[in-house]
Amino acid sequence: MASRRQVREAAVQLLYARCSNFKSAEGSEFWGLIHHGALVSFDKARVKILAHLQQGRLATAQKLQTIVLNCAASILATDPSEKLAKEIKSLTEDEIQWADTVKNLSNLTKANLGGWQADLIKLLVKSNELQKKRATIRLKTDNFPPLQQTALEHVFDKLDSYDKRVHMVHFPKNYPDQRELAHLHQMTSEMKELEDEVTKIADLVTEKATELDKLIGLKSENFDLSRLSKVDLAILRLASWEILYLTELDPAISINEAIELARAFCGKDSASFVNGILDQVAKSTSDHSQQTTE
């Protein structure tokens, strides 16, 4: 579950993207940036699950290598041009390399070394390619001696079953009831919840943007808002909206959090500027409430 700070940071970024007319606002590119840390954790979890589901694959790939050596004569008899022999050799090498890469990826993620996410995607795609290669070679083994063909088919079936598990890790959303993927489903759900919460808040703030800008302009002594940093404006809009409409929330909390956001996104001067304006917004809101009560 996302923290309040995470929600507010993302809301500021979305409001900034909107007032900057960022074309990809709310698209996959935008949310990819927002979820960067979560997506790294998601991929680490995928590597861990993949390593678990692929236990024994390297031994199976090595067994394929042995069977291919025993089938050398049959392979050559089936295709004297040696094209089939090259295809099977290439497949065997790829199978062993694929299994080795899973182990290497697991070590890289544990050591927090970079660059592994691109390798993960390549590995997942490669799994599908290996399946297709095996399917093509299967069609060319009809003339093998029964024992050798049966041994080869058995290993191919086992490798196919491994690749079915890889497909689950590649596309977990297609397997909502798979227990091994429960953690991935939870992480995906949490990212979606964050998107929904942030979008809801940004929509409410955007709906009141004209009113909020008028108030911010008045409290900044008619400072020209067009000269104001769009990040500062997004922070001021969000905090002012909270002060005006989230009456159950202490204005001091909104102000302090806005100051921290301004300091993180823009620096110390921005934090002071935001503090000054929001103090005035909170004061005028408090005065208005008292007058209404009286």
Give the start-to-end residue ranges of the domains of the chain: 4-23+186-286, 35-170
Would you say residue 238 has pLDDT above 90?
yes
pLDDT tier at 22, thresholds 50, 70, 90: low
Helix/strand/coil (H/E/C) assignment for every residue in the chain: CCCHHHHHHHHHHHHHHHHCCCCCCCCHHHHHHHCHHHHHHHHHHHHHHHHHHCCCHHHHHHHHHHHHHHCHHHHHHHCCCCHHHHHHHHHHHHHHHHHHHHHHHHHHHHCCCCCHHHHHHHHHHHHHHHHHHHHHHHCCCCCCCHHHHHHHHHHHHHHHHHHHHHHHHHCHHHCCCCHHHHHHHHHHHHHHHHHHHHHHHHHHHHHCHHHHHHHHHHHCCCCCHHHCCHHHHHHHHHHHHHHHHCCCCCHHHHHHHHHHHHHHHCCHHHHHHHHHHHHHHHHHHHHHHHHHHC
pLDDT tier at 293, thresholds 50, 70, 90: very low
Between 2 and 87, name the one with better pLDDT: 87
**pTM of the model as a whole:** 0.85
Would you say residue 160 has pLDDT above 90?
yes
CATH superfamily of 4-23+186-286: NusB-like (1.10.940.10)
